[in-house]
Structure 1
């Protein structure tokens, strides 16, 4: 089996893991913490984008616009998750950066709708912006909370580490996207394989995170770190 075939088969594991995570999250939604509830909505978004992108590919042979929409929704979630759910960061610069990133992605979506670009010329700068801003949010979260009292909430830091690693891999993959699409050595298939493995591991961790939610009623991460 070639790396191309293996990567293709591996891609079908992503919606399976997302479906399992969503079922687990919905089954115990009322008993989940604020962080896990947000992750459940994130999983739903990931699953919908995955299914719709596959549908677009079969119907139109092109699903690039979905990558831009996905980048917008992902950055929107990340901004809410880091700036409201986790630490309620007050930095105007970070909020402005998230806002600028969302505005840029919206502009790129409209440009893509009116200016048709072939596969060889497509460069998803929106995904690069999305990944870069999320990495900054993740690093800021570390800086703001590493010295605070965390009690038993190291799972939130583990989640943040997972976000940091996942979006860093995404940034490495999508930054040279146009080059990878047009190169002929076969290197791109190994890069797509790396990206697919990162997706699978990340989705598996999300299942683990939701499954092991052990919220103490009345507590959340922000209350713990404020003690």
Structure 2
């Protein structure tokens, strides 16, 4: 199997992991706390994006216009998660930063796909870099809040935040040279895509484990609520 075939195989595995995660999330849903229920909705977003990207790519020959929309919904979900469930107090800086991030992604989508028709070779995924950057800042703000007030009694929320921080930090490294990787012809790009897919798989497994551990800890959560 060549590198391109391995990339395609790993991409197919991504869909399988997401389907498994969504089914598991639905099965455990009544036993999950609010943060782990968020994971179910997030996995649903990831799976819908995968399927929609495949359909649009097969129908129109290119699916890069889906990417900024995915970034928009991903960022909106994480902003809601941190403000609603993780932050203990309101942080004006993160609120403004999140608003600016969403505004930038909307601007990029309108500019690249409504006013102009940017080709895949010309497209620069600044939306993903902004998406990752804002989520990283939210994650670091949560860590700072816990260090200054330190009353974190739930280690699972702390470890969940660390997993988010690690994933989106490494993801940013992969997406910074995106345009070079799209146009690179030596085959080096496949090593980057393979590494990125392994990172995604590790993050998906992490999310699934988070749901499973939480469901086991809260067997009567649904009744209690």
Q: Do both share a fold (TM > 0.5)?
A: yes
Q: Counterpart of 2:174?
A: 173
Partner of residue 73, structure 1: 73
Return the offset for 1:215: 3.5
Assess, with a 3 A threshold, how the Cα gap between structure 1 residues 216 and 83 changes in structure 2: closer, same or farther. farther
Distance between the aligned counterparts of 2:219 and 2:90, measured in 1?
A: 26
Quote the residue 2:189 is aligned against.
188
Which of structure 1's runs of 4+ aligned residues deviate more than 6 A? none
Describe the shift of the 1:131–1:203 C-alpha distance in structure 2 as closer, same or farther (beyond 3 A): same
Aligned length: 217
Report what 1:17 is aligned to.
Answer: 17
Shift in Å, 1:149? 3.0
Q: Within 5 A, what are the aligned runs for 1:60-209?
A: 60-114=60-114, 115-146=116-147, 148-151=150-153, 153-209=154-210
1:26-45, aligned counterparts within 5 Å? 26-45=26-45
Q: How many angstroms apart in 1 are the aligned matches of 2:67 and 2:132?
A: 12
Instruction: Return the alpha-carbon distance in structure 2 between the equivalents of residues 68 and 138 of structure 1.
Output: 21
**Structure 2 residues not aligned, in runs of 5+:** none
> What's the CA shift for 1:28?
2.0
> CA shift at 1:185, angstroms?
2.4
How far residue 89 of structure 1 moved from its aligned partner, in angstroms, is 4.0
State the 1:106 CA deviation. Answer: 0.7
Query: What is the root-mean-square deviation in Å for CA atoms of aligned residues?
Result: 1.5
For residues 100 and 141 of structure 1, the distance between their equivalents in structure 2, rounded to whole angstroms, comes to: 19
**In the superposition, relative to structure 1, how do residues 26 and 62 fare at CA in structure 2: closer, same or farther (>3 Å)?**
same
Does structure 2 conserve the Cα–Cα contact (< 8 Å) formed by 1:101 and 1:130? yes
In structure 1, stretches of 5+ residues that fail to align are: 219-227
For residues 201 and 105 of structure 2, the distance between their equivalents in structure 1, rounded to whole angstroms, comes to 25
**TM-score normalised to structure 2 length:** 0.91
Once the 2 structures are TM-superposed, how far is the Cα of residue 216 of structure 1 from its aligned partner? 8.0
> 1:122 aligns to what SS in structure 2?
coil
